[in-house]
Amino acid sequence: MAKTVKKERREFIQYSTLGVLGLVLAGGVVGSPYLYSEELHLRPPGAVEEKEFLGLCIKCGQCLQVCPYHSIKLADIAKGHGIGTPYIDASVRGCYACEAVPCVLACPSGALDHGTEKSTDIKMGVAVLEFPNRCLAMTNKTVPKGNSKKMHNFLDAQVNLTELEKDVVKKLESFEGKECTLCADMCPMPNPLSAIAMVPDAKGGKKPEIYDGCVGCGVCEEVCPVSQSAIVVKPRLSYEDYYEKGIRS
């Protein structure tokens, strides 16, 4: 885990130094639209409202260090704004919604609100079946062999999978060659059926349906076995925002 933090920080410093140097040379640091990009990151559990988060986060990497799933990364210059702040790239690794939410406990600055005490308190975003035409369940295809390697490929050779990650790999392997229900069956919430379930679709097959217990952890996006996930997480939106009020960003 410590090696991962060092690597993340090393890469962050390298990217930041090169990136900032480039922008200075271009005379564009202050007020650059690139730095203040509006793209919303998926933040770790407990993250306060984005503007406040950017002011409070001291970029110490404590949350990243305690995460047993290697879910958290530090943003580099390529991410636009909030350089050095923690984020989660759900297409690579979602947050496994640990019951005691250790990332929040580790945060010394208030950027991750300690009021988030358990997994069901998490409010990161909401899952959406954005690309139903890619969904294996809806197109009657099975989970491809070798799919579980995705979790291995994420980490470089110097870092070993944690025991918890090995358990995830084992579970993923058990789905290979079978009909796809990965997004629903891998949802880490204590009561996953409150967040997502496979339901009949109009063609007599199955499709995932999202419910208000979804916290936007991003695991469904990570484990979706197509090359670009059919199901994605919308950061900072709630179930009510997206599905009831029709808010899209």
Strands 86-87 and 73-74 come out as antiparallel
Query: By CB under 6 A, is residue 235 in contact with ligand SF4?
Result: no
Question: Reduced to 3 DSSP states, what percent helix, strand and coil does the chain have, rounded to the nearest 5?
Answer: 35, 10, 55
Residue 128 engages ligand SF4 in binding (rule: CB under 6 A): no
User: Interface with ligand SF4 includes 224 (CB under 6 A)?
Assistant: yes
C-beta of 17 vs 228, nearer to ligand SF4: 228
CA distances from 249 to 65, 114, 168, 237, 242 (A): 30, 26, 31, 7, 9
Select from 216, 232, 237, 238 the one that contacts ligand SF4 (CB under 6 A).
216
Nearest approach in angstroms of CB 83 to ligand SF4 is: 20
Q: What is the CA radius of gyration of the chain?
A: 18
82 lines the binding site for ligand SF4 (CB under 6 A): no
Spatial CA neighbour of 153 closest among 169, 175, 170: 169
Residue with smaller CB distance to ligand SF4, 12 or 239: 239
Residue with tokens 């789905």: 175
Applying CB under 6 A, the residues found at the interface with ligand SF4 are: 44-45, 66-67, 69, 71-72, 95-98, 101-103, 127, 135-137, 180-183, 187, 189, 195-196, 208, 210, 214-220, 224, 226, 230-231, 233
